């Protein structure tokens, strides 16, 4: 692939062309998985899943995807590690870095944690969810589903319902879909869970994206 980024922390790092490249590869890999064919594409690669929040589905998805491609996988849960003894993220990063991992997949409750981690490790860092801001890999999965079901990613009305204030998957999806032409949003939530200001101003109003609450 022609991606130029060391890490994937925000969906905004990816251009529309790069997203399309990822989705094309994902379709090929989906067919591969369905036929139960494992590959050696990541043979010799070590992937560390570092989860400060519990998420069975997300962690299992990353683990299975890596193993399907022949990678070595190490799972670290903050609830059963030295984090419980007060070890900070930088200390944990230095410890993991000593294992010479190639990729670190991290879920963390604080926004900005992934940028901090990336400065203290040599590995590629993938954001598997942070605070209430970003969840780029979930967004890529959502885009894959939308394009499969609708046959396109432009000229769509997107309805988002539920927790729009803290829902990081919602925020990342809005930021991604807003770059396609003919997109408008319908936002459905209780008053106390309305879309936050940074999405309202940075995306809808600054970019002139139509939306209805």
Active site residues: 57-58, 85, 107, 135
Chain centroid to Cα 113, Å, comes to: 14
């Amino acid at each position: 692939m022609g991606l130029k980024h060391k890490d994937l922390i925000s969906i905004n790092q990816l251009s529309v062309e790069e997203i399309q490249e990822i989705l094309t590869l994902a379709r090929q890999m989906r067919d591969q998985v369905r036929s139960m064919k494992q590959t050696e594409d990541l043979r010799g690669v070590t992937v560390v899943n570092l989860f400060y929040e519990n998420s069975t589905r997300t962690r299992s998805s990353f683990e299975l995807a890596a193993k399907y491609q022949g990678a070595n996988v190490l799972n670290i849960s903050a609830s059963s590690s030295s984090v419980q003894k007060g070890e900070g993220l930088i200390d944990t990063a230095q410890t993991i870095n000593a294992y010479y991992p190639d990729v670190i997949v991290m879920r963390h409750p604080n926004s900005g944690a992934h940028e901090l981690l990336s400065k203290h490790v040599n590995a590629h860092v993938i954001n598997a969810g942070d605070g209430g801001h970003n969840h780029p890999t979930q967004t890529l999965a959502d885009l894959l589903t939308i394009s499969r079901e609708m046959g396109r990613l432009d000229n769509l009305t997107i309805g988002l319902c539920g927790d729009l204030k803290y829902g990081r998957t919602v925020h990342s999806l809005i930021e991604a879909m807003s770059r396609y032409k003919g997109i408008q949003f319908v936002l459905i939530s209780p008053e106390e869970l309305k879309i936050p200001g940074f999405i309202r101003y940075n995306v809808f109003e600054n970019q002139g994206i139509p939306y209805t609450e």
